Structure 1
Amino acid sequence: MAKQSKSSKFGRFCRKLLRIFIILFILSNIYLVVCKWVMPPITITQFTNFFGYGLKRDYVKWDEISPNLKLAVMASEDQLFPDHDGFDWKALEKSLSTNSKKKNKIRGTGASTLSQQTAKNVFLWQGNGVFRYIRKAPEFYYTKMIEWVWGKKRILDVYLNTVEMGPGIFGVEAAAQAYFHKSAKNVSRSEAAMIIACLPNPKVFTVKPMSRFVQWKYQWILKQMNNISDDPDIMALTK
């Protein structure tokens, strides 16, 4: 009887856990649809940063973001963004085959696309270790969902408004104000490259004072911007 009682309690616990998971899953999908039109009120990364660095953030509309910033982030992070389905499979295969001696080599673009980064920023959490592998399945799901529901323009819009760009600084408007005392709409090409160069570690790769990494990378980004600026699909996403 005792064994049956324990088994029954465990079964009820599992069923309750499953119901909670299903409810949270449904709510997250409703939230995903709402975010097609409404910016996320707060992300996990923003929340966790608040207690140590504060929160500097000012969401702006698509037309209030300089085309230079849109071009710079694609040039730096994901040059195939207009063309892929959320995943750059060739870059992913390349990153998985890279041996340990080359794993720290700096690459301008990598396996993690802007769509993946946006899904992670809005719906999931940052960090490496074991939690990184736990995150992979939901990251895949939310990446595909925002590709289907939001579309490329909205993904880029949300990314530029929510990505961390300095200690406690989130989004291009807050970054432009903090680093250059101007709105994101008026950022020059060089300034855009400097802001984007702080990715993927804006707490270490600082814009002001300018770290050696940012000093090198922003010049690389400028060259990449020149290389892709006349691509019709890229141009369509910078307007």
Structure 2
Amino acid sequence: MRVFKWLVALPFAVFILFNAYVYGSIITYRAVAPNQTAFMRMRIQSFSEQGKDIALDYRWVPYHQISVNLKKALIASEDARFAAHSGFDWDGIRHAFERNQRSGKIRGGGSTISQQLAKNLFLNESRSYWRKAEEAAITAMMEATTDKDRIFELYLNSIEWGYGIFGAEAASQHFYKKPVVKLTKQQAAQLAARVPRPLYYVEHPRDKSLRARTNIILKRMGSATLPDTGE
């Protein structure tokens, strides 16, 4: 009976300890840049297991040193209501849930920038309702404790853009050989277009969907609203 109680209590203990760790990390990340994210570690380990010698290229830059063009491109591409919502796009979540129900699988979708950051910082690529619940809990903690511009700064510096390439500065240097602050509107839109399928687009640089997505983002950038900066 005692063993049974321990078996029941153990998952709750792990859950509490993990969320305590997450909360402490979120508070730390309000002022300190992450050394790495969980997603970075997972990717590099996965490449290693596949026999690929991929080095991590991750270069943190402050928010004001990131091109406004890229900020607007990512808002236009990933989360148009980022500046206004509290971490969740309820209409997007409802539509994603309906798609998942119809397909019988969890295909993702409906994730805001805050939710994407929560996953990148602390979780893995698995798709389950339990993982989505954890993602939601982390998102709520982050939104309750961290300014929008800091959330966006963390996001911009942790996005995957290619094999081992993480963050806006590494991506700008890799694709355009220039600091991220100097990106043009076209270049910013092209980078934002890569975000949903970064490794695929590295392997298929001439895919027509990349050009089409870039053009859509360019059209939407003019109405993109950034958080708290007045930009």
Name the TM-score, length of structure 2 as normaliser: 0.85
Name the CA shift for 1:82/1:207 in 2 (closer, same or farther; >3 Å).
Answer: farther
Give the greater-gyration-radius structure (CA).
1
Kept in 2, the 8 Å contact 1:205–1:213? The answer is: no
Within 5 A, what are the aligned runs for 1:132-171?
Answer: 132-171=128-167
CA root-mean-square deviation:
2.4
In the aligned structure 2, how far is the partner of 1:16 from the partner of 1:234? 43
**1:234 maps to what in 2?**
226
Give SS of 1:45's match.
helix
**2:113 maps to what in 1?**
114
The yes-or-no answer on 1:209 pairing with 2:205 is yes
Deviations 1:182-239 (A, max 9, x none): 111111111010011012110112398343221111111000112x14xxx5374474
Kept in 2, the 8 Å contact 1:195–1:207? The answer is: no
Judge which range, 119-128 or 185-194, deviates more. 119-128
In the aligned structure 2, how far is the partner of 1:70 from the partner of 1:146? 20
**1:50 maps to what in 2?**
44
Name the CA shift for 1:114/1:20 in 2 (closer, same or farther; >3 Å).
Answer: closer
In the aligned structure 2, how far is the partner of 1:149 from the partner of 1:235? 15
Given residue 49 of structure 1, which amino acid in structure 2 is its aligned partner?
R
In the aligned structure 1, how far is the partner of 2:220 from the partner of 2:230? 15
Judge which range, 33-42 or 200-209, deviates more. 200-209
Name the CA shift for 1:32/1:208 in 2 (closer, same or farther; >3 Å).
Answer: same
Name the CA shift for 1:48/1:39 in 2 (closer, same or farther; >3 Å).
Answer: same
Give SS of 1:203's match.
helix
**1:68 maps to what in 2?**
69
Name the CA shift for 1:183/1:13 in 2 (closer, same or farther; >3 Å).
Answer: same
Kept in 2, the 8 Å contact 1:198–1:207? The answer is: no
Kept in 1, the 8 Å contact 2:189–2:214? The answer is: yes
User: Which segments of 5 or more consecutive residues in structure 2 lack a partner in the other structure?
Assistant: 48-53
Given residue 37 of structure 1, which amino acid in structure 2 is its aligned partner?
A
Within 5 A, what are the aligned runs for 1:22-41?
Answer: 22-41=16-35
Deviations 1:87-112 (A, max 9, x none): 111222233334859x9xxxxxx621
Name the TM-score, length of structure 1 as normaliser: 0.82
Judge which range, 217-226 or 13-22, deviates more. 13-22
Name the CA shift for 1:91/1:25 in 2 (closer, same or farther; >3 Å).
Answer: closer
**TM-fit CA distance, 1:22:** 2.9
Q: Percent identity?
A: 32
Report the count of equivalent residues: 219
Deviations 1:60-117 (A, max 9, x none): 111110001110000001111111111111222233334859x9xxxxxx62111111
In the aligned structure 2, how far is the partner of 1:159 from the partner of 1:210? 27
**TM-fit CA distance, 1:13:** 4.8
**TM-fit CA distance, 1:134:** 2.1
**TM-fit CA distance, 1:151:** 2.0
